[in-house]
A and B are shown apart, each in its own frame.
Chain A
Amino acid sequence: EVQLVESGGVVVQPGGSLRLSCAASGFTFDDYTMHWVRQAPGKGLEWVSLISWDGGSTYYADSVKGRFTISRDNSKNSLYLQMNSLRTEDTALYYCAKGLEQWLVQDAFDIWGQGTMVTVSS
C-alpha cells in the first residue's frame, strides 16, 4: 500500500524551531518529487515547498523562504521540513504529498499523508 506518514508536529513558542518528518512506503521514493502543503485551521490549502526526486532542486513559498528547509534521505524513504524562526501564522496542519509522475518537478499530488499539526503559540 502506498502510504505517507508525517510526524513531529508539536506546540512551539514563536521564534522556535521544529523538524517535521514524512515516512514513505509502497513506492519507489527516490523516483518522485515530494511536497509539503499546509492548512491553517478552518482555512484553505497553501503549498509550502518541494524537493525534486534527487534532492537537486528545491523551491519554497515566499512566506517561508529563508526560514524553512526541505530535505530528503532517499536511503531512508524519508522527507523532512526544518522550520526555524516560527511565527504564529505558521500554525497549521502540515501534509506531505507525492508527485504524480516519476521524475517530474511540476506535477499534481496524488498521495497525501494524514498531516501533522504545528501550533506556534506563547
Chain B
Amino acid sequence: DIQMTQSPSSLSASVGDRVTITCRASQSISSYLNWYQQKPGKAPKLLIYAASSLQSGVPSRFSGSGSGTDFTLTISSLQPEDFATYYCQQSYSTPNSFGQGTKLEIK
C-alpha cells in the first residue's frame, strides 16, 4: 500500500502570506495526486487534481506541483476563507490513501 505523508501537520499564517504544504508518497505515483480542503463540519472540497490541474471554480491563488513522490500545494496570498484543513490523496492505486492532513490556522 502507498503511504502519504504531509508536512507540516499544522501551520499558523497571516492573511496575505504565501503558504506551501508538502505531500510525499512512499513510492512513485506519477501525477496521480489530488488536494482537498475541508472546513469544520463540512465535506471535503476538491482543489487540485492530477497534481497541478485547478478544479473548476477554485480560485487561482491555489496551485499544485510535483510528480513522482514529492508534491506541493501553494496558496499564493492567504484569504480569511482559506483557513481550513488540507489533505492530499493519491489516486494511482487502491487503496486510494490520504495524507494525515495539514491544519492551517490564523496567526
Contact = CB atoms under 8 A, between A and B. Distances in A.
A45 B44 CA distance: 9
A82 interface: no
B98 A46 contact: yes
Interface residues of A, number: 22
Contacts of A79: none
B100 interface: yes
A61 B95 CA distance: 6
A50 B49 contact: no
B87 A44 contact: yes
A47 B1 contact: no
B94 A59 contact: yes
A47 B95 contact: yes
Interface residues on B, range: 20 to 34
Nearest to A112: B43
Interface in A92-119: 95, 100, 106-110, 112-115
Main secondary structure of the interface of A (DSSP, over half): strand
A72 interface: no
Contacts of A61: 95
B43 A108 contact: no
A87 to B, nearest CB: 18
A62 interface: yes
Nearest to A61: B95
Interface of B: 1, 32, 34, 36, 38, 43-46, 49-50, 55, 87, 89, 91-101
Interface of A: 35, 37, 44-47, 50, 59-62, 95, 100, 106-110, 112-115
